[in-house]
Chain A
């Protein structure tokens, strides 16, 4: 006698599970995410070492004029700069600056962008019209020049740089959240919440925002490398985080004088910026593909 056990009924996967499954299938995305994780570990580790005052592999700020402008060798793995400082140590030490600027600036811009977009999308009509014209106007400005102007006027410091980058780069998020909210507010559950007499803020934060979370997360991840690149550009022009603190941008800026003699001062910090920015972009893109519902129909 053959007994057949009934096949277990397939439980319909939630959208979240389906997204996770799609993300896991994306090898490039996983590699990029791993790289982001590695960078985060490096940044945190070297921040802690810096605070504790443990110089490893060398003190990033210690000068040694006998060993200046040396190419990579067994002592200084990535060479030394014009003051004999170890480039490898400075690179590792600069990691947390880049990542801090990236994450915190994105947080600032998300906060503004989500609030503005939510208000515009929820209230619609003239509120929406006024806000979106303002957003359009900001989008006409050359972003980097606007950031440079503001940072130069308030004075370059890591706090100011973060605030300015955040204040300038929220428009994309605002547009996105607004578009999501314009569709969401017509949905049945929002209508129901309104019928039950719930108030605007509660509807926005409790019901609508969680449903727009996926695309917001994607723009957030894609915003990090923008901020990292903006900081590097500012540092390069001398309006970034001020020396002696090493950042990837200002190592290149200091090294440009020796461009024909010391290629390692330009090459390695640039590679660090490229790898960091690329990891975030690829992670963000993989996330976008994972949460995009349209690609399910393919």
Chain B
């Protein structure tokens, strides 16, 4: 067990190094001006450009730039070009909202994906399965921003569901429960829309995994000894096919966080996706490097936790 965790930790450090390289090079290797004001702006004097280059180490060779950026990132000294605030602080203040949104969407994806997938596998090959399969592909094919607008029209016109921000502005609640419920209402809609694709992907994996498990010898044994179909299905097959729940986390998180960029914009939700979009608009390089790095690191952490959790639950994993 300990060996397994240590080995995974070491692998993660290697991955983290690659992640830092990629997030640095995506910014520096793409052509285009590094200045937030455009290369040929006549109002910006050479001196200002020089000071700017020195300040953000843009006058150094690439490998030294990488060193500086990573050092600054880890010491918390990396500052945004736009407002010169430490990038990590900017990310940290967005983190709770982002976690609420993405973990909410993840939980929805996993739970509804499981339900839909199990239902499909239960009726494999028959009409209910065909319908849920097509439905799953409809879910995957739905553009999130389109659903957001359609739902927003409907919900605003017919149901009084709050759709902007993280909480109702200008209202003071008397107790913590009301504050919590208010925030819950606000995160519900974006999280559900974000989760639509995840539910579908997850249901496909669960269904495939269930059908695979149902062909195993021990399922035949269970049936042969006269267990009724429900017991075979839920007690024997289901337990052995929940692997996609774990691998799903690794597959879904990057898609969720990426998709959140659009959804957060529509719902004026102050998460990291919106921060990223603002940084993109302002060509705020330090923030972009840090955001790409931090989100990828978060995904990595999620994977690591899931793996370890899975190894704790399922003894077969450690043998691999």
Q: Which residues of A contact B (CB under 8 A)?
A: 28, 133-134, 136-150, 152-155, 225, 229, 232-233, 236-237, 239, 249, 252, 256, 259-260, 263, 266-267, 269-270, 273-274, 277-278, 281-282, 285, 297
Contact = CB atoms under 8 A, between A and B. Distances in A.
Nearest to A238: B281
B276 A148 contact: yes
Contact of B296 (A140, A233, A269): A140
A233 B140 CA distance: 14
Contacts of A256: 149
A285 B259 CA distance: 23
Contact of B288 (A149, A233, A278): A149
Contacts of B30: 150, 153-154
Q: Chain B interface mostly helix, strand, loop or mixed?
A: helix
A102 to B, nearest CB: 12
Contact of A140 (B21, B141, B254, B273): B254
A142 B258 contact: yes
Interface residues of B, number: 57
Given A154-B32, A252-B146, A285-B137, A137 B258 contact: no
A137 B18 contact: yes
Contacts of B261: 142, 144-145, 148, 237
A3 B296 CA distance: 76
B128 interface: no
B27 interface: yes
B14 A144 contact: no
Given A259-B153, A282-B137, A232 B143 contact: yes
Interface string B280-314: 11010000100110011101100100000000000
B143 A142 contact: no
28 contacts: A28-B134, A133-B11, A133-B18, A139-B250, A139-B254, A141-B299, A142-B255, A142-B260, A143-B258, A144-B259, A145-B257, A145-B261, A146-B258, A146-B292, A148-B280, A149-B280, A152-B281, A152-B283, A153-B32, A155-B32, A232-B145, A237-B265, A259-B149, A259-B153, A269-B146, A277-B143, A281-B137, A282-B134
A285 B208 CA distance: 12
Nearest to B134: A28
Contacts of A259: 149, 152-153
A256 to B, nearest CB: 6
Interface of B: 11, 14-15, 18-19, 21-23, 26-27, 30-32, 130, 133-134, 137-138, 140-146, 149-150, 152-153, 215, 250, 253-262, 265, 273, 276-277, 280-281, 283, 288, 291-292, 295-297, 299-300, 303
Contacts of A150: 26, 30
B30 to A, nearest CB: 4
Contacts of A229: 141, 143
Given A137-B296, A153-B32, A278-B141, A146 B153 contact: no
B262 A236 contact: yes
A137 B19 contact: yes
B141 A154 contact: no
Contacts of A270: 143, 146, 149-150
Q: Which of A137, A148, A285 is the most central at the interface, judged by chain B CB atoms within 10 Å of its CB?
A: A137
Q: Which of A152, A225, A277 is the most central at the interface, judged by chain B CB atoms within 10 Å of its CB?
A: A152
Nearest to B200: A281
Contact of A145 (B145, B146, B295): B295
Nearest to A295: B211
B295 A141 contact: yes
B254 to A, nearest CB: 5
B149 A145 contact: no
B254 A225 contact: no
Contacts of A267: 150
A28 B254 CA distance: 30
B290 to A, nearest CB: 12
A137 B134 contact: no
Given A154-B31, A282-B134, A141 B280 contact: no
The 5 closest A-B pairs by CB, nearest first: A144-B258, A137-B18, A270-B146, A142-B258, A277-B141
Contacts of B137: 278, 281-282, 285
Contact of A266 (B21, B150, B258, B300): B150
A143 B250 CA distance: 13
A104 B310 CA distance: 39
Given A236-B262, A274-B146, A141 B141 contact: no
B286 to A, nearest CB: 13
A233 B148 CA distance: 12
A71 B56 CA distance: 52
Contacts of B295: 141-142, 145
A184 to B, nearest CB: 22
Contacts of B149: 252, 256, 259, 266, 270
Contacts of A297: 215
B255 A141 contact: no
Contacts of B18: 133-134, 136-137
B138 A237 contact: no
A152 B27 CA distance: 10
Contact of B141 (A143, A146, A237, A281): A281
Contacts of A282: 134, 137
A142 B146 contact: no
Contacts of B292: 141, 145-146, 149
B250 to A, nearest CB: 8
Nearest to A134: B18
Contacts of B281: 152
A267 B299 CA distance: 34
